[in-house]
């Protein structure tokens, strides 16, 4: 069986994303279990340094490189990946679930009359046949699947496999020339924009997810809202803990309805059925009821704690390990002070 592992150079132009090394680990495992040949395919402006970083895997390395492939763009990325796949004549294509590859892999699978499955959380062999595990209905049902069609494109979610790591060694890279028609360049990359925020609040590699629910923007015991205070408490906690910020749908939707909300909270922070499903070892929810549509976004959070005034909220019904029935304003203020003093001592 021919297995092709694909990766692209990150925005800095010099390294692969962590998700790529994780997917490479998965690809190497599958290749070893099936006694298959593994080939590595790379896309980017200059691939030599990243090729060096994966050379110790001992696989043949092919690449499509050049200025036209420096930035994500469907037409050029699809042409590059298609050219590599055709050269290798792969039966199985394994790629990391980055935004760049999630955009382009289905189209390439279609061009090669193959099939594609994304958000793969595990690859395994069942009775000698390659199987993939993924979730359906937004992390509410988990399925194990097989396909007969080849090539089978498997796009692996970040955080699902140990990242492969070896020291860099000089790599021999076989370059593939790709001729691009003018229509492939109708789209121009113009930059990367960070959403309006006082700070970068989304940190995929953080150990802790901190979720703020709609309660932060509601009237408190004195009959008034305390949004500036809520903003200060949350931002201080994010700074001192290094946590990534998530929000419930009810909170992030308020900005669309022109209500007063936390200024740094956008739809990008939304966790849940219509938001994201991040992977962090721990999660702390505050002022959020933990109803099912939100809690499905916590599927991959291992340790979960919540602070809520309602002892009958969703978190109490088996969705959190610990529920503190308390006022989040008060608890988080005290927690900030504690973390600050511990930082000083350190």
**CB neighbourhood size of 97 (10 A):** 21
Cβ atoms of residues 243 and 208 within 8 Å: yes
Residues near 59 by beta carbon (within 8 Å), at least 6 away in sequence: 5, 38, 39, 40
Per-residue contact flags (x/-) with another protein for residues 148 to 167, judged by CB under 8 A: xx------------------
Rounded-to-integer distance, Cα 245 and Cα 212, Å: 8
Candidate ranges 49-57, 116-124, 164-172, 212-220; the one touching another protein (CB under 8 A)? 116-124
CB-nearer residue toward another protein: 2 or 240: 240
Indicate the residue among 166 and 189 with the shorter CB distance to another protein: 189
Question: Considering only CA atoms, which of 78, 87, 149, 72 is closest in space to residue 107?
Answer: 78
Residues in Cβ contact with 132 at an 8 Å cutoff, skipping those fewer than 6 apart? 117, 120, 122, 123, 144, 145, 146, 154
**Which of residues 12, 191, 221, 344 is near another protein by CB under 8 A?**
191
Least separation in angstroms between residue 336's CB and another protein is 8
**Which residues have CB under 8 Å from 35's CB, separation 6+?**
none
Is 239 a binding residue for another protein by CB under 8 A? The answer is no
Residue among 49 and 131 whose Cβ is closer to another protein: 131
Among 60, 147, 239, 279, binds another protein (CB under 8 A): 147
| Nearest distance from C-beta of residue 30 to another protein, angstroms | 17
Residues 198, 238: contact at Cβ < 8 Å?
Answer: no
> How far is Cα 206 from Cα 210, in angstroms, rounded to an integer?
10
Site string for another protein, 261-300 (x = CB under 8 A): -----xxxxx--xx-------x-x------xxx-----x-
As measured in angstroms, the least distance from the Cβ of 181 to another protein is: 9
Report DSSP state, residue 56.
G
Taking CB under 8 A as the criterion, which residues in 203-222 touch another protein?
203-204, 208
User: Whole-angstrom Cα distance, residue 8 to residue 10?
Assistant: 6
- The answer to whether residue 56 forms part of the interface with another protein (CB under 8 A) is no
Span 307-346, contacts to another protein by CB under 8 A: 307, 311, 315-327, 330-335, 337-339, 342
Least Å distance, CB 196 to another protein, is 11
């Amino acid at each position: 069986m021919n297995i092709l592992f694909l990766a692209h150079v990150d925005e800095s132009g010099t390294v692969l994303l962590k998700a790529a090394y994780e997917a490479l680990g998965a690809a190497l495992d599958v290749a070893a279990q099936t006694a298959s040949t593994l080939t590595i395919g790379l896309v980017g402006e200059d691939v030599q340094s990243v090729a060096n970083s994966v050379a110790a895997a001992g696989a043949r390395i092919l690449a499509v490189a050049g200025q036209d492939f420096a930035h994500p763009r469907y037409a050029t990325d699809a042409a590059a990946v298609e050219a590599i796949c055709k050269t290798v004549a792969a039966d199985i294509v394994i790629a990391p679930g980055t935004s760049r590859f999630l955009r382009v892999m289905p189209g390439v699978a279609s061009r090669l009359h193959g099939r594609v499955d994304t958000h793969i959380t595990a690859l395994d062999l069942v009775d000698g046949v390659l199987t993939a595990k993924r979730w359906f209905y937004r992390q509410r049902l988990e399925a194990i699947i097989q396909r007969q069609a080849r090539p089978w494109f498997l796009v692996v979610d970040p955080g699902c496999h140990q990242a492969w790591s070896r020291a860099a060694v000089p790599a021999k890279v076989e370059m593939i020339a790709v001729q691009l028609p003018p229509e492939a360049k109708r789209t121009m990359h113009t930059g990367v924009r960070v959403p309006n925020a006082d700070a970068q609040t989304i940190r995929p590699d953080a150990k802790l997810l901190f979720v703020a629910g709609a309660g932060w923007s509601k009237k408190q015991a004195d009959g008034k809202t305390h949004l500036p205070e809520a903003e200060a408490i949350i931002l201080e906690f994010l700074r001192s803990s290094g946590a990534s910020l998530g929000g419930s749908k009810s909170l992030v939707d308020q900005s669309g309805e022109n209500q007063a909300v936390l200024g740094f909270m956008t739809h990008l922070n939304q966790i849940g059925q219509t938001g994201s499903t991040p992977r962090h070892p721990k999660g702390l929810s505050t002022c959020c009821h933990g109803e099912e549509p939100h809690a499905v976004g916590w599927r991959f959070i291992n340790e979960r704690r919540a602070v809520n005034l309602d002892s009958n909220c969703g978190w109490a019904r088996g969705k959190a390990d610990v529920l503190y029935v308390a006022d989040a304003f008060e608890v988080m203020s005290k927690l900030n002070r504690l973390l600050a003093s511990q930082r000083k001592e350190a």
